Amino acid sequence: MTKGILPGVGVAIIEQLRVGTMRLRFFLLAVAVVLPAGAALAQYGQYPMLDAAANRVIQKYQSSSCDQLWQDRNRQKSQEEQRAVQFLRSDPQVRQRFIDRVAAPVANKLFECGMIP
């Protein structure tokens, strides 16, 4: 069995490598978690008017009673609502972002009210 030039130096280097590897793994994990979250926030911050419209729709469904929603189903859409729908039909990317934002809250409310199976 041969001994190193300085006893204990090899162990210290191995320990530093182990700690450095753990720090690198933690950093990569943090980047993997934070990067998609930041991209999602940037995606929604890119269209402030879309955010406002989506928030209005969500608020309307969350604050309306089931009876109000049943009555609203048969009501004529305002010109503003018709323009918004037309805009969403003309731009698939904006439509997808809008639907991604409102789908879950609206679907949950419609389910609670028995408006969807």
Residues 70 and 23 both lie in one domain: no
Residues 70 and 55 both lie in one domain: yes
Residues in the chain: 117
Q: CA 58 → CA 6, 22, 52, 105, distances in Å?
A: 69, 43, 10, 6
Residue with tokens 């323009």: 83
Q: What is the mean pLDDT of each run of 10 residues along the chain (117 residues)?
A: 55 59 49 50 69 92 93 88 91 93 94 90
Residues 22 and 52 both lie in one domain: no
Please tell me the predicted confidence (pLDDT) of residue 45. Answer: 63
Integer Cα distance of 94 and 72 in angstroms: 25
Residues 110 and 59 both lie in one domain: yes
Residues 69 and 89 both lie in one domain: yes
Residues 62 and 84 both lie in one domain: yes
Residues 27 and 13 both lie in one domain: yes
Cβ contact 58:102 at 8 Å: yes
Residues 77 and 91 both lie in one domain: yes
| Structural domain count of the chain | 2
Q: Is 4 among the domain residues?
A: no
Residues 39 and 58 both lie in one domain: no
Cβ contact 49:93 at 8 Å: no
pTM of the model: 0.57
Residues 40 and 77 both lie in one domain: no
Which of 53, 52, 68, 54 lies closest to 112 in space, CA to CA?
A: 68
Residue 15 belongs to what domain range?
9-46
Please tell me the predicted confidence (pLDDT) of residue 81. Answer: 87
Residues 25 and 66 both lie in one domain: no
Cβ contact 49:97 at 8 Å: no
68 contacts: CB under 8 Å, gap ≥ 6: none
Cβ contact 60:109 at 8 Å: no
